Structure 1
Amino acid sequence: MKHQSKPIFIISRFLVFVLLFTHSTISVVKAQEVEDERDFDYVEGSKKGPAYWGEIKKEWAACKHGGMQSPIDLPGKSFQILPSLVELKRTYKPSNATLKNRGHDIKLEWAGNAGSIEISGIQYFLKQSHWHSPSEHSINGKRYDMELHMVYQSMDPKVESNTAVVGVLYQIGRPDAFLSKLARDIASMTDKKTERSIGVIDPAEIVELDGKNYYRYIGSLTIPPCTEGVIWIMSKQLGTVSREQIDLLRLSVYDYAEMNARPLQPLNRRMIRLYFQKPKIINYN
């Protein structure tokens, strides 16, 4: 599987970019992941690899110089425990969705209001999900087989962190039901930067987390421009995925992103909080 570069009409791309983003708020643009980029890759030793992301474009400087970068290793003991503080509130709505091969990953994007999560009284609305393999975050130094990112944004101009990401780690086991549903469409996009409408998708079908046991910290986007100030919520509950599903995700993207996990970043004394609820003890005597 090899991808051949095609001519790029820079002027046309620039005009489209201006038309799409002229009316967007500044805060949203700052936390926007790049789309359809070949200016970066994940190849070890490549001049476009993660070690050089911060040098490729001045807008990506945070990738090299930022002090709150993601992903990180989630330690087993050195975190602040907040027992029974708050259960993550989630509300989802079935909405039309588009599946897109961005070259560096497979993304599922919802149109309209597909639901939201509430963090500290602020609503963050679901925008898209995508997958990384192997996982980007680790726990006690262990990386898992896949990681799901659910990306949310708040349009409140007073919010300092306008982007939140819910992450779930997966290990090899039974097939993930949601990926099984998308398998045929993903397979049809192999090695092609393309997108297709796949109809109404209910985000609740994605097993994110139980909402009661999760890590939380402040980090960044894990691809350029590596914007910081992102609220990360990482589930302590592991999902399962089959080896065949991981192979499908890897074969569908381009060669430079078959293993699309950014290396771990320094914690730099950031606080990692663990939210959990103790199980109820029932006395039958």
Structure 2
Amino acid sequence: MRSARHLHDAVSALLLFLLLSAVVPAARAQQETDDESEFSYVCGAENGPENWGNIKEEWATCGTGLMQSPIDLSDRLASQTPHLGYLNHSYRPAEASIVNRGHDITVMFHGDAGSMWINGTAYHLRQLHWHTPSEHRVNGRRYNLELHMVHLSSENKAAVIGLLYKIGRPNHFLHELESYLQRMASTNEKEENVGVVDPWVARGDGEAYYRYMGSLTTPGCDEGVIWTVIKRVATVSSEQLKLLADAVHDGFDMNARPLQKVNYRDISFFSPDDHHERYYAAADH
């Protein structure tokens, strides 16, 4: 009887361990880190990007990982990959709040905001946030702003869509959030409900994209992230850029991680033109 009880206790402990092991990475992948006081984007500082891996044991990958993000998406290194096909996503309006995480401004979805599909797996949209200037570069060029749309699968694997912006006409999605950002900047509020938000508006246009395997770009820099960076560059006004900078905490108005080494990773590129050429070539045969 005693041995049966011991077996029951051991099985219960094992199940609890497995549950916690699954939950903790999920929370980290979705929220990244919420404690901005422990790291900075100031190169050369004790808690700057080059030292993130030394600040905490669980952040070690920031310094030792070989698949880190962001990178320079060079057409010289990218391979044309028509079989990737068009992005398969189905977004929908959902309840959301806008959150000042200190190191960035984030829109957190509280309902079902839809998904994107990669290789038969659904990745559910959880949140989106901005980095100034852009973290990824394209052929060496850095842009004024980058939006990250963070998705998670049921197995807690992350997939992120990155969108690049240059100074120009106001961005429609940011325009819809301007009143909340202004209030957040003037009151130092941490979070505010914004009602229903439509992520289709954030996604914008552009079908050509780069694809590679990388990491989160804030501590703990977890790897295994599927990155999709849209090639078409959208626009944002200088006033909207300033509004995002004013809303975050002092010292985080520039919140872009420096470029990381590619380390012989494959960079794929999908273009609708290449996809059409392959389709019609196959049809001719």
Shorter chain as denominator, the TM-score bin is: 0.7 to 0.9
Whole-Å Cα distance in 2 between the matches of residues 48 and 155 of structure 1? 33
Alignment correspondent of 2:216:
221
* Residues in 2 aligned to 1:225 and 1:196: alpha-carbon distance in whole angstroms: 26
Contact 1:94–1:201 (8 Å) recurs in 2: yes
Deviations 1:26-77 (CA, angstroms, capped at 9, x unpaired): 5524534011431011123221111111111010001111100000000022
Please give the alpha-carbon distance, in whole angstroms, between the structure 1 residues aligned to 2:204 and 2:49. Answer: 27
- Give the match for residue 150 of structure 1: 149
Paired residue for 1:114?
113
Q: Which runs of 5+ in 1 are unaligned?
A: 1-20
Match of 2:199 in 1: 203
Q: Which residue of the partner structure matches residue 7 of structure 1?
A: none
Match of 2:45 in 1: 46
SS at match of 1:166: strand
Task: Report how far residue 197 of structure 1 moved.
Answer: 0.7
| Aligned mates of 1:128, 1:30 — CA distance in 2 | 13
Letter in 1 for 2:175: S
Q: Distance in 2 between matches of 1:60 and 1:278?
A: 41
Residue 272, structure 1, aligned to residue 267, structure 2: yes
Letter in 2 for 1:83: P
Query: Gaps (5+ residues) in structure 2?
Result: 1-18, 278-285
Query: CA–CA distance in 2 between the matches of 1:103 and 1:127?
Result: 19
**What is the distance in 1 between the residues matched to 2:99 and 2:26?**
20
Which one-letter code corresponds to 1:169 in the other structure?
L
**Alpha-carbon distance in 1 for matches of 2:205, 2:229:** 8
Contact 1:42 1:259 in 2 (8 A): yes
Are residue 28 (structure 1) and residue 20 (structure 2) matched?
A: no
Question: 1:73·1:139 contact (CA, 8 Å) conserved in 2?
Answer: yes
Aligned length: 257
1:170-198 per-position Cα deviation (integer Å, ceiling 9, x unaligned): 01100001101101101111273510111
Q: CA deviation at 1:276?
A: 1.4
Structure 1 pair 27–34 and aligned structure 2 pair: CA distance change class (3 A): closer
Give 2:257's match in structure 1, choosing from 262, 266, 285: 262
- Does structure 1 retain, via aligned residues, the 8 Å contact 2:91–2:115? yes
Equivalent position of 2:140 in the other structure: 141
- Equivalent pair of 2:96/2:111 in contact (CA under 8 Å): no
* Structure 2 counterpart of 1:31, one-letter code: A
- Of Structure 1 and Structure 2, the greater helix share is in 2
Aligned residue for 1:96, secondary structure, equals: strand
Asked if the contact 1:190/1:252 (under 8 Å) is kept, the reply is: yes
Letter of the structure 2 residue corresponding to residue 272 of structure 1:
I
Q: Write the distance in 1 (CA, Å) between the matches of 2:236 and 2:259.
A: 22
Map of 1:175 onto structure 2? 170
- Is the contact made by 1:132 and 1:259 (CA closer than 8 Å) also made in structure 2? yes
Once the two structures are TM-superposed, the CA of residue 82 in structure 1 deviates from its matched residue by 1.0
Contact 2:134 2:144 in 1 (8 A): yes
Which residue number in structure 1 is paired with residue 126 of structure 2? 127
Instruction: Name 1:3's counterpart in structure 2.
Output: none
Query: Does 180-189 or 43-52 show the bigger shift?
Result: 43-52
2-structure distance, mates of 1:209, 1:34: 30
Deviation at 1:129, TM superposition (A): 0.3
CA distance in 1, matches of 2:247, 2:151: 25
Partner Cα distance (1:204, 1:60) in 2: 33
Measure, in 2, the Cα distance between the counterparts of 1:58 and 1:24: 19
SS at the partner of 2:50? Answer: helix
